Structure 1
Amino acid sequence: MNWLLVVAGATVGAPLRYLTDRAVQSRHDSVFPWGTFAVNVTGCLILGVLTGAVAEGAAGSHLQLLLGTGLCGALTTYSTFSYETLRLTETGAGLYAAANVVGSVAAGLGAAFVGVSIAQALWG
Protein backbone atom coordinates (compact mmCIF):
# COMPACT_ATOMS: atom_id res chain seq x y z
CA MET A 1 0.00 0.00 0.00
CA ASN A 2 2.82 2.44 0.82
CA TRP A 3 4.26 2.23 -2.67
CA LEU A 4 0.92 3.48 -4.05
CA LEU A 5 1.33 6.67 -2.06
CA VAL A 6 4.79 7.19 -3.54
CA VAL A 7 3.47 6.50 -7.05
CA ALA A 8 0.54 8.88 -6.55
CA GLY A 9 2.84 11.66 -5.36
CA ALA A 10 5.27 11.07 -8.22
CA THR A 11 2.39 11.09 -10.71
CA VAL A 12 1.78 14.71 -9.73
CA GLY A 13 5.40 15.69 -9.08
CA ALA A 14 6.94 14.66 -12.40
CA PRO A 15 4.62 16.62 -14.72
CA LEU A 16 4.62 19.53 -12.26
CA ARG A 17 8.42 19.59 -12.46
CA TYR A 18 8.43 19.58 -16.24
CA LEU A 19 5.73 22.25 -16.60
CA THR A 20 7.25 24.50 -13.93
CA ASP A 21 10.73 24.14 -15.40
CA ARG A 22 9.50 25.09 -18.88
CA ALA A 23 7.38 27.99 -17.60
CA VAL A 24 10.18 29.48 -15.50
CA GLN A 25 12.94 28.95 -18.06
CA SER A 26 10.87 30.50 -20.86
CA ARG A 27 10.75 33.76 -18.90
CA HIS A 28 14.53 34.10 -18.71
CA ASP A 29 16.93 34.89 -21.50
CA SER A 30 19.92 33.32 -19.79
CA VAL A 31 21.95 30.12 -19.87
CA PHE A 32 21.41 29.80 -16.11
CA PRO A 33 19.02 26.89 -15.40
CA TRP A 34 16.35 28.91 -13.57
CA GLY A 35 13.67 26.24 -14.05
CA THR A 36 15.64 23.51 -12.31
CA PHE A 37 16.73 25.96 -9.63
CA ALA A 38 13.09 26.91 -8.97
CA VAL A 39 11.76 23.35 -8.71
CA ASN A 40 14.63 22.24 -6.48
CA VAL A 41 14.26 25.15 -4.06
CA THR A 42 10.46 24.74 -4.03
CA GLY A 43 10.87 21.04 -3.29
CA CYS A 44 13.22 21.85 -0.41
CA LEU A 45 10.66 24.25 1.04
CA ILE A 46 7.85 21.68 0.78
CA LEU A 47 10.06 19.00 2.32
CA GLY A 48 11.05 21.37 5.13
CA VAL A 49 7.40 22.13 5.97
CA LEU A 50 6.56 18.43 5.82
CA THR A 51 9.53 17.45 7.99
CA GLY A 52 8.59 20.09 10.53
CA ALA A 53 4.97 18.95 10.49
CA VAL A 54 6.00 15.34 11.11
CA ALA A 55 8.33 16.42 13.93
CA GLU A 56 5.49 18.38 15.55
CA GLY A 57 3.07 15.47 15.20
CA ALA A 58 0.86 17.30 12.70
CA ALA A 59 1.54 14.87 9.84
CA GLY A 60 2.11 11.15 9.66
CA SER A 61 4.09 8.65 7.68
CA HIS A 62 1.50 8.31 4.92
CA LEU A 63 1.65 12.02 4.12
CA GLN A 64 5.43 11.82 4.30
CA LEU A 65 5.41 9.05 1.68
CA LEU A 66 2.91 10.84 -0.56
CA LEU A 67 4.44 14.33 -0.45
CA GLY A 68 8.02 13.78 0.70
CA THR A 69 9.07 10.71 -1.22
CA GLY A 70 6.55 10.80 -4.07
CA LEU A 71 5.86 14.45 -4.89
CA CYS A 72 9.19 15.98 -3.84
CA GLY A 73 11.16 13.02 -5.15
CA ALA A 74 9.71 13.52 -8.62
CA LEU A 75 9.56 17.33 -8.43
CA THR A 76 13.20 17.88 -7.53
CA THR A 77 16.12 16.59 -9.54
CA TYR A 78 19.72 16.25 -8.54
CA SER A 79 20.64 14.57 -11.81
CA THR A 80 19.39 17.46 -13.94
CA PHE A 81 21.12 19.94 -11.62
CA SER A 82 24.38 18.01 -12.09
CA TYR A 83 23.96 17.68 -15.83
CA GLU A 84 23.13 21.37 -16.32
CA THR A 85 26.10 22.39 -14.17
CA LEU A 86 28.38 20.16 -16.23
CA ARG A 87 27.00 21.59 -19.48
CA LEU A 88 27.56 25.14 -18.22
CA THR A 89 31.18 24.26 -17.48
CA GLU A 90 31.67 22.56 -20.84
CA THR A 91 30.31 25.55 -22.74
CA GLY A 92 32.60 28.01 -20.98
CA ALA A 93 30.03 29.41 -18.58
CA GLY A 94 32.07 28.55 -15.50
CA LEU A 95 30.76 31.47 -13.45
CA TYR A 96 27.18 30.37 -14.11
CA ALA A 97 28.14 26.81 -13.15
CA ALA A 98 29.67 27.99 -9.88
CA ALA A 99 26.67 30.23 -9.19
CA ASN A 100 24.38 27.28 -9.85
CA VAL A 101 26.21 25.06 -7.36
CA VAL A 102 26.58 27.65 -4.61
CA GLY A 103 23.15 29.19 -5.17
CA SER A 104 21.32 25.87 -5.35
CA VAL A 105 22.89 24.49 -2.19
CA ALA A 106 22.45 27.73 -0.23
CA ALA A 107 18.90 28.38 -1.43
CA GLY A 108 17.89 24.74 -0.97
CA LEU A 109 19.18 24.59 2.59
CA GLY A 110 17.67 27.99 3.33
CA ALA A 111 14.30 26.91 1.96
CA ALA A 112 14.36 23.71 4.03
CA PHE A 113 15.14 25.67 7.21
CA VAL A 114 12.40 28.19 6.41
CA GLY A 115 9.99 25.31 5.82
CA VAL A 116 10.77 23.74 9.18
CA SER A 117 10.37 27.15 10.84
CA ILE A 118 6.99 27.63 9.18
CA ALA A 119 5.86 24.23 10.42
CA GLN A 120 7.05 24.98 13.95
CA ALA A 121 5.19 28.29 13.91
CA LEU A 122 2.01 26.63 12.70
CA TRP A 123 2.04 23.44 14.78
CA GLY A 124 4.69 23.94 17.48
Structure 2
Amino acid sequence: MATPPSEYAMSRTPHFQELRMASGSDNLQGCFHLLFTQQYAEIDGLINVLCEKRDDLFKKIERMEKLVEEGEGLCAFHDSGNVGLEFMKETLKTDKKVLAALTGLLDMACEGRREKRRHVSRFE
Protein backbone atom coordinates (compact mmCIF):
# COMPACT_ATOMS: atom_id res chain seq x y z
CA MET A 1 0.00 0.00 0.00
CA ALA A 2 1.21 3.48 -0.78
CA THR A 3 2.20 5.80 1.99
CA PRO A 4 -0.32 8.49 2.88
CA PRO A 5 0.24 11.83 1.20
CA SER A 6 2.31 14.41 3.05
CA GLU A 7 0.91 17.73 4.23
CA TYR A 8 2.78 19.36 1.35
CA ALA A 9 1.22 17.03 -1.21
CA MET A 10 -2.20 17.59 0.29
CA SER A 11 -1.87 21.37 0.07
CA ARG A 12 -0.53 21.28 -3.50
CA THR A 13 -3.02 18.74 -4.92
CA PRO A 14 -6.44 19.56 -3.47
CA HIS A 15 -8.36 18.04 -6.40
CA PHE A 16 -6.41 14.79 -6.25
CA GLN A 17 -6.94 14.71 -2.50
CA GLU A 18 -10.67 15.05 -3.06
CA LEU A 19 -10.52 12.22 -5.60
CA ARG A 20 -8.44 10.15 -3.19
CA MET A 21 -11.04 10.67 -0.43
CA ALA A 22 -13.89 9.75 -2.78
CA SER A 23 -12.17 6.58 -3.92
CA GLY A 24 -11.14 5.68 -0.38
CA SER A 25 -7.66 4.87 -1.58
CA ASP A 26 -4.18 6.36 -1.55
CA ASN A 27 -3.46 4.28 -4.63
CA LEU A 28 -3.52 6.34 -7.83
CA GLN A 29 -4.82 3.37 -9.80
CA GLY A 30 -7.93 3.27 -7.61
CA CYS A 31 -8.36 7.04 -7.92
CA PHE A 32 -8.12 6.96 -11.70
CA HIS A 33 -10.44 3.97 -11.91
CA LEU A 34 -13.11 5.84 -9.94
CA LEU A 35 -12.67 8.98 -12.03
CA PHE A 36 -12.95 7.21 -15.38
CA THR A 37 -15.79 4.97 -14.20
CA GLN A 38 -17.79 8.03 -13.18
CA GLN A 39 -17.05 9.76 -16.48
CA TYR A 40 -18.07 6.63 -18.40
CA ALA A 41 -21.37 6.50 -16.51
CA GLU A 42 -22.04 10.20 -17.16
CA ILE A 43 -21.40 9.82 -20.89
CA ASP A 44 -23.54 6.68 -20.99
CA GLY A 45 -26.40 8.61 -19.39
CA LEU A 46 -25.93 11.46 -21.86
CA ILE A 47 -26.06 9.00 -24.76
CA ASN A 48 -29.34 7.56 -23.46
CA VAL A 49 -30.88 11.05 -23.26
CA LEU A 50 -29.55 12.04 -26.68
CA CYS A 51 -30.91 8.85 -28.26
CA GLU A 52 -34.33 9.52 -26.77
CA LYS A 53 -34.32 13.14 -27.98
CA ARG A 54 -33.10 12.11 -31.43
CA ASP A 55 -35.82 9.47 -31.75
CA ASP A 56 -38.52 11.91 -30.60
CA LEU A 57 -37.34 14.57 -33.04
CA PHE A 58 -37.21 12.04 -35.88
CA LYS A 59 -40.84 11.11 -35.21
CA LYS A 60 -41.80 14.78 -35.07
CA ILE A 61 -40.11 15.37 -38.44
CA GLU A 62 -41.94 12.43 -39.98
CA ARG A 63 -45.28 13.81 -38.74
CA MET A 64 -44.43 17.30 -40.00
CA GLU A 65 -43.49 15.93 -43.44
CA LYS A 66 -46.90 14.25 -43.66
CA LEU A 67 -48.61 17.49 -42.61
CA VAL A 68 -46.70 19.44 -45.26
CA GLU A 69 -47.59 16.87 -47.89
CA GLU A 70 -51.29 17.05 -46.99
CA GLY A 71 -51.11 20.83 -46.62
CA GLU A 72 -49.81 21.31 -50.14
CA GLY A 73 -53.13 20.04 -51.45
CA LEU A 74 -55.32 21.71 -48.84
CA CYS A 75 -53.72 25.06 -47.95
CA ALA A 76 -53.74 26.51 -51.47
CA PHE A 77 -57.51 27.02 -51.15
CA HIS A 78 -57.36 29.04 -47.92
CA ASP A 79 -56.24 32.62 -47.32
CA SER A 80 -53.78 31.87 -44.53
CA GLY A 81 -52.99 28.39 -45.77
CA ASN A 82 -49.96 29.31 -47.85
CA VAL A 83 -48.39 31.27 -44.99
CA GLY A 84 -48.98 28.41 -42.57
CA LEU A 85 -47.57 25.92 -45.04
CA GLU A 86 -44.44 28.02 -45.55
CA PHE A 87 -43.96 28.24 -41.79
CA MET A 88 -44.34 24.47 -41.48
CA LYS A 89 -41.70 24.00 -44.18
CA GLU A 90 -39.42 26.46 -42.41
CA THR A 91 -39.88 24.60 -39.13
CA LEU A 92 -39.25 21.28 -40.84
CA LYS A 93 -36.01 22.57 -42.35
CA THR A 94 -34.81 23.80 -38.95
CA ASP A 95 -35.81 20.56 -37.23
CA LYS A 96 -33.79 18.60 -39.79
CA LYS A 97 -30.74 20.76 -39.03
CA VAL A 98 -31.22 20.15 -35.31
CA LEU A 99 -31.54 16.41 -35.97
CA ALA A 100 -28.28 16.44 -37.93
CA ALA A 101 -26.54 18.34 -35.11
CA LEU A 102 -27.98 16.00 -32.49
CA THR A 103 -26.82 12.99 -34.47
CA GLY A 104 -23.32 14.50 -34.71
CA LEU A 105 -23.30 15.14 -30.96
CA LEU A 106 -24.43 11.57 -30.35
CA ASP A 107 -21.59 10.27 -32.52
CA MET A 108 -19.11 12.35 -30.50
CA ALA A 109 -20.56 11.09 -27.22
CA CYS A 110 -20.24 7.48 -28.43
CA GLU A 111 -16.63 8.14 -29.33
CA GLY A 112 -16.09 9.58 -25.85
CA ARG A 113 -17.70 6.54 -24.27
CA ARG A 114 -15.33 4.22 -26.17
CA GLU A 115 -12.41 6.34 -24.97
CA LYS A 116 -13.58 6.23 -21.34
CA ARG A 117 -14.13 2.46 -21.59
CA ARG A 118 -10.50 2.13 -22.69
CA HIS A 119 -9.44 4.33 -19.76
CA VAL A 120 -11.48 2.32 -17.26
CA SER A 121 -10.15 -1.00 -18.53
CA ARG A 122 -6.58 0.27 -18.19
CA PHE A 123 -7.05 0.83 -14.47
CA GLU A 124 -9.09 -2.29 -13.64
Q: Could you state the TM-score of these two structures normalised by the residue count of structure 1?
A: 0.41
| Bigger radius of gyration | 2
Q: Could you state the TM-score of these two structures normalised by the residue count of structure 2?
A: 0.41
